[in-house]
Amino acid sequence: MKKIFSLIMLVCCVGMFTACSDDRDDNPVLQQPETFTLNQPAYSAGVDLQNAKSIAFTWSQPAYGFPAGTEYQLQVSNNGKFTKELDVNADPATQLGVADHVTLLESYKTCDGPLFTKDMAKALQQLNAYEEGKVPATDDVWVRCVASTKGAEKVYSNAVKLSVVPYYVELKDAVPATWYLIGSCIGDGKWTNAEAAIGVSMMPLYTKAGETYDKATGDGKFEYTGYFPADANFKIVKTPGDWDHYVWCTDGTPLGTSLRNGGSDPGNITVPAAGYYTITLDTKALKCVIKPAASTPSATYAMITMPGTPNGWDAANGNPMTPVSASPENHDWFTTITFDANAPADGGTKFAKGSWDESWGIAEFPFGIASGSANIPYKKGTFKVFFNDYTKQFFFIEQ
């Protein structure tokens, strides 16, 4: 009898434990909030967009039922209605008077962040199409925050109103995005993740032939072909200085990749054997594929120069470039150059092997494949320049 009673009590206790476990605090249910609060910034009246650097915003986290990992972006409107978002890839004439807000590209992981005034000025130019010399002395602008988390629909905050002093902005398409290789086999191999290390410890992937890039974000397909030693360890980072967000790491297999955006470090990308590999990165689809290269170089170069109009077309000494790697298999070159004016119609620059025996160019700027003999029509400014002597891909990154 005692055994039967004990068995009954055990079954009841198990049932109680199961019922409680289904409703425990560490197993919360994701809620769908209707809105959340964006606070009025302290600096919100007469903000001089040309001279102020940023406006500090803070907001509450949407009530998801628990502290969910959330990404936030700010939106700017010229009328506070937020009914039609600007399509930057459409004809601007079709957007004027129709689109009333722009989603800024900057994203945040915490409930605060700076809205850079240059981004607000650009958004107002896109929405209002100010004419140069006819920009109003002041203008009203509305800002709201949009929150995104996995498993829930986007949530929009209230809008706050600011008065600003706008200025004319010359609108240009975004240049292709820059993602950087870094690792034991890249540059000096010191893993220095910083703006100052671009060309030393870091180098960008190149644009891909025939690819078009998003006019707002610069996203698209990027490529790199180069030699990797058997013990290669490397990553691909989006933002110099940031190891935690938008960093391509390993998936645990040679040549396998996974994208880290927060969380723990999955580890470095590796190769199965020494050789030439091609990396293809699709920044729209967030997909990275690494495969053995379809072909390999038959020659290496002791030097690469940039003869052109500024140095009198000096192929021997005109702006010599620095090899990115000390490896005998180096095919990437780097320099920083300043052009005091745009290239003349009959001028420009090229890449050469230190003489006119071999030289490469194309009538494209600031990126392309120097597959012909035409001059590269550079623009005024200071640029970090990268060139691959095997694929002939190049990239002028404005500073």
Residues 278 and 361 in one domain: no
Helical H segments across the chain, by residue range: 2-21, 92-95, 117-128
Checking if the pLDDT of 137 tops 50, the result is yes
pLDDT digits (tens, 9 = 90+) for 140-197: 999 999 999 999 999 999 999 999 999 999 888 888 999 999 999 999 999 999 999 9
Last-in-domain residue among 292, 327, 348: 292
**Three state DSSP letters for 308-337:** EHHHCCCCCCCCCCEECCCCCCCCEEEEEE
CATH of the domain at 330: 2.60.40.3620
Residue 335: is it exposed, middle or buried by C-beta count within 10 angstroms (0-12/13-18/19+)? Answer: middle
CATH of the domain at 121: 2.60.40.10
Tokens of 174: 């975004």
Q: Report yes or no: 223 and 369 within 8 Å, Cβ to Cβ.
A: no
Q: What DSSP state is assigned to residue 361?
A: B
Choose among 239, 194, 224: nearest CA to 387: 224
pLDDT digits (tens, 9 = 90+) for 236-256: 999 999 999 899 999 999 999
Cα separations (Å) of 50 from 45, 61, 302, 385? 14, 31, 47, 29
Separation CA 337–CA 315 (nearest Å): 16
Tokens of 352: 């050469």
Assigned domain for 26 exists? no
Residue type, 29: V
Residues 265 and 340 in one domain: no
Domains of the chain: total: 3
The model's pTM: 0.71
Residues 188 and 285 in one domain: yes
Separation CA 379–CA 383 (nearest Å): 10
Give residue 25's pLDDT.
Answer: 55
Residues 42 and 137 in one domain: yes
pLDDT digits (tens, 9 = 90+) for 321-344: 999 998 999 999 999 999 999 999
Assigned domain for 185 exists? yes
Residues 260 and 335 in one domain: no
Question: Could you tell me the residue range of the domain that residue 273 belongs to?
Answer: 179-292
Separation CA 343–CA 351 (nearest Å): 15
Tokens of 371: 């597959």
Pairing of strands 351-352, 359-360: antiparallel
